[in-house]
Each structure stands twice: as C-alpha cells, then as structure tokens.
Structure 1
Amino acid sequence: MNQKPTELEGATRDWLEAHGFVIKDQALWVEALTHGSTGEARDYQRLEFLGDRVLGLTIADLMFQQSRGAEGALAQRLNALVSKAACAQAARDIGASKHIRLGKQARDDGAATSDNVLGDIMESLLGAAFLDNGFDATKALIRQLWKSQVEGTAGTAKHPKSALQEWAAGNKRRPPEYELVSRSGPDHKANFTVRVSVQNVGEAEGNASSKQEAETAAAQNFMETFG
C-alpha cells in the first residue's frame, strides 16, 4: 500500500474552511477525501460509515422538531434527505468533485462526478467533522449544508414503492415482487437493473446506480404503465 500524505493541499483546506469545516487534524481530512482507488492504506470508508449515522440522527432530530407529521411521513422525508442522491447533491453544491483524491483510472472513469462517490465523500466529511469538532458543531454544519434540500419538497410525495404496495392491495393483488436482473460496472459507477412484477398484472424494470434506487425506478415505471 502507498503511504498517504498527512497534510491537506492549501486549496483544499481553503475550500473546506470556506464551507464551514473546521480543520484541526489534517490527516483525518486527507483520509476523508481519499478514494480506495489510490491504493493507500486508509481511505474514506470508515469515516463514511460514521458520517452516515451522524447525518441520520441530525436530520431525524430536525424533522422531529419542525414537523408534526406521523411516524410514516417523518420516515419518508428522512429517507429522502439522507439518501445517496441527497448526499451527492450536497457534495455538488459545495464543489467537492475536484478535491477528491482518486486513482488515475477511477478519475478517468468519471468517479469524481459519480453519485456513489460524491455521496460517500459527503458522509466521510461529516464523519471527519464529528471526530475533529464534536456532534454539536457537525449538527450545525449539516443544517447549513442541507438547508436548501430541507426547505424543498424531497420526500413529501408518496414513495413509488409505497404507492405500488398500496395500489396492489387496493386492487386485491399479491404484493409486488422485486428481482435484481443485473449489476454492472465498478463500484463508483455501478448500474443496477431491477424488475418488479405484480401477479396477473404485469412487470416493469428500472435502472439506477444503487439497488434501492433501481427498485424505486421500477415501481415508478410500473405505476406509470399499469397504475
């Protein structure tokens, strides 16, 4: 394995600080921006795991405070706001792509603009923020970075999979069944195809960069065709 640097490049540090991140342990932030394709001993995966949990708790707390909705509505909104797509959007909003440390092949393959990688990077930065600055500071940072998405409509419409489930029940059909048809491409540019079927009605397929999103797309396509 290659040794990783322990200090941030000046432009990267300036970029992080301009967006509200407070840098103490530089090596931690280098790790947060390092993709596995570099071949270095440590990459962002562990910090991504941690950041995902910090983000989930912060958004759940925010939803609880701001909404009087029932548990189902809160969960639907939470799932939308902590999804890979939402994390990738937050990363794009702050221009993270050019600061990700990638191996040459991964960069040539477009990893820097991939939803999977951008989403992972955003979560790893939140994990680093939690370790370097604590929960309260990271919670305030998340509220700032997610402000436009929280004020938007993400998660307010019925989720396509829930809509299909209810449609099947209302039409006295068996519950929809999802089947993974194929998975292709490297992890940072994966493509999943999922088929959903309802017995004696029909089937539809959906494609996306994660299995969960492909299921959602399949449900949406099914409802547009048969609903």
Structure 2
Amino acid sequence: MLQKMGWSPGEGLGKNKEGTIEPLLLDVKMDKKGFHAQEELTPKKQPIPLAKDLSGKHPVSALVELCSKRKWSPPDFEMVFDCGPDHKKNFLMKVMVNGQEFKPSVAASTKKMAKANAAAAYLQSLGLFPKDPNNPLL
C-alpha cells in the first residue's frame, strides 16, 4: 500500500523521508485468551448466599425483584385506609405476595412511604431486610 503512494523500500517515512526505516515488529497472538489474559484472570466464584441481605435496595424494588426471581406473580399493593385531615393524612397499605397478605403496623405520611413500609414488612418477615428499631413495621 505504501509503494502505491510512492514509497520505496529503504526510505524513511514522512515528508522529508526522515522517519523510521525498520518496520514495526508484530507480536502475533495465536491463542484465544484476549490481550491481557494474565492480568484479567477471574477470581474463583464465591458461593451465592441463600438469604441475601437487601438492605441497600428500596424495599419495593427488592420485593419486585424477589418475586421475579422466584417466578411468583408481581406483588399487589392495596390501600387499607387513609385518615386525618387533608393537609396531614396517614396512609396504610397492604401487600399480597404469593397468596399471603402482609400489612405493617405503622401508618405513613405519604402513599409512597406506606407502600415501602408494606414491602419492607414482608421482606422483614422473610429475614431478608434488616429490622429498624426506630421504625418497627411488624
């Protein structure tokens, strides 16, 4: 290809023909391990715990993920009651999971928090979500 552009063997590369004369040496790789095979060795896989702690996740997303992994129908959240004046209502939701109903013992100030409390109550009953002594749900 370089010869088609006017280069001849023994000449240097570049405008003034002062570039490198020797061709680049190629390191031909014949295995299929990748370029950094020694540096990218994967460590041995650790055993997957049977009961995973879901404390870092939002309770609703953790419950939906749990239902999906166990091939259950998605959780069904339902409002149990709401009480109080319009400017300061309290909400209580229950969740139906795999034919079982779970309802927290504490009402929440928002619907979103009430839904999260219901999901957390179910996960706590399974031992998958840590119990908060400041906010008991069961």
TM-score (norm: length of structure 2)? 0.48
Larger Rg: 2
TM-score (norm: length of structure 1)? 0.30
Hey, which of these two has a bigger chunk of helix by percent?
A: 1
